[in-house]
């Protein structure tokens, strides 16, 4: 899989990420459009950052781009079914941040992904998402499906 600009790759987990394996990291610089008029990151943007990191984490683990998942893994989507977050510091326009994301639990069709966003002043945001691996049924409905063995293997044995 080709590296994209700003992607720093995968490494061992951090304390809050627990036993997450693997951990995907990337750096980005906060842009004005991601901020409110006071120049502070508008809170929904963090969830966009984490959503991007989730897909990049799975792409890196699988060695496949997301658009190939449907044909190769029967992928329909990975909707969020639970979300929690904790904001501990402000992040401002122009700050360079690092986002680390890792899978901390795998169920039959669900996965818990934890995220950390670090700013120049230190830890700024932590979030945990539960997502469900979904496929399309014969009636064209999105339904939960078992996590493919290939993905499970990649996430548990790096």
CA 41, 45, 18, 59: dihedral to nearest 10 degrees? Answer: -140
**Distance in angstroms (rounded) separating the CA atoms of residues 66 and 7:** 16
> Is 60 exceeded by the pLDDT of residue 13?
no
- pLDDT tens for 93-134 read 999 999 999 999 999 999 999 999 999 999 999 999 999 999
Mean pLDDT of 74-81: 94
How high does pLDDT run on average in the chain? 88
**Distance in angstroms (rounded) separating the CA atoms of residues 153 and 51:** 22
Confidence (pLDDT) at 151: 93
Mean pLDDT of 85-93: 96
Confidence at 36, pLDDT banded by 50, 70, 90: very high
> Is 90 exceeded by the pLDDT of residue 17?
no
Q: Which residue has the tokens 């029967």?
A: 74
Confidence at 37, pLDDT banded by 50, 70, 90: very high
Q: What is the CATH number of domain 7-157?
A: 3.10.129.10
Domain boundary assignment for the chain: 7-157
């Amino acid at each position: 899989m080709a590296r994209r600009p700003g992607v720093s790759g995968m490494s061992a987990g951090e304390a809050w990420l627990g036993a997450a394996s693997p951990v995907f990291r990337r750096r980005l610089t906060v842009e004005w459009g991601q901020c409110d008029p006071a120049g502070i990151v508008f809170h929904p943007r963090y969830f966009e950052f984490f959503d991007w990191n989730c897909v990049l984490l799975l792409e890196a683990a699988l060695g496949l781009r997301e658009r190939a998942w449907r044909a190769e893994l029967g992928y329909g989507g990975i909707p969020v079914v639970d979300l929690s977050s904790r904001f501990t510091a402000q992040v401002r326009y122009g700050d360079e941040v690092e986002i680390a994301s890792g899978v901390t639990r795998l169920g039959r069709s669900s996965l818990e992904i934890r995220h950390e966003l670090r700013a120049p002043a230190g830890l700024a945001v932590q979030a945990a998402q539960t997502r469900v691996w979904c496929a399309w049924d014969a009636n064209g409905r999105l339904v939960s499906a078992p996590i493919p063995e290939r993905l499970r293997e990649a996430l548990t044995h790096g």
